[in-house]
């Protein structure tokens, strides 16, 4: 296996772990963490693809853009989770979906 195959396997592994977390976990903060794991896998794939094409700078700049957008998404997701916790008293997605009023 070449180093590129190892990096891409790691990227797909991170994507798979994040997707598993999204499908199985019902706690909002853990869902945000699962999304973060998926984004890290995509970012690793961007850098690997840039290195494969000989345009490592492009892959790194895409990764930096992803880091910026991902940080914003994480901050907004955690802020929403805090507000939902304050209003409903729970972060379980199933319980939140059953709330009325």
Domain enclosing residue 64, as ranges: 3-94
Cα distance between residue 9 and residue 58, in whole Å: 21
In a domain, 17, yes or no: yes
- Asked whether the predicted pLDDT for residue 101 surpasses 80, the reply is no
**Span 14-59, pLDDT tens digits:** 999 999 999 999 999 999 999 999 999 999 999 998 988 889 899 8
Q: Is residue 52 part of a domain?
A: yes
List pLDDT tens digits, range 53-91.
889 899 899 999 999 999 999 999 999 999 999 998 899
DSSP tag of 19? H
Cβ–Cβ under 8 Å, residues 94 and 26 = yes
Looking at the 3D structure of the chain, how many domains does it have? Answer: 1
Task: For the chain, give the longest Cα–Cα distance.
Answer: 57
CATH number at residue 44: 1.10.287.3510
pLDDT at 17: 96
Q: Taking a C-beta distance cutoff of 8 angstroms, is the pair 88, 99 a contact? A: yes
pTM, whole model, 2 decimals?
0.86
Would you say residue 99 has pLDDT above 90?
A: no
The pLDDT score that the predictor gives to residue 4 is: 86
Does 101 fall in a domain? no
């Amino acid at each position: 296996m070449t180093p590129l195959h190892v990096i891409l396997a790691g990227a797909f592994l991170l994507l798979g772990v994040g997707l598993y977390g999204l499908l199985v976990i019902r706690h909002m903060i853990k869902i945000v963490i699962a999304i973060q794991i998926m984004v890290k896998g995509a970012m690793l794939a961007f850098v690997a693809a840039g290195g494969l094409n000989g345009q490592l700078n492009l892959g790194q700049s895409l990764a930096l853009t992803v880091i910026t957008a991902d940080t914003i998404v994480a901050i907004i997701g955690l802020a929403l989770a805090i507000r939902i916790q304050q209003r409903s008293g729970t972060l379980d997605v199933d319980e939140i979906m059953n709330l009325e009023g």
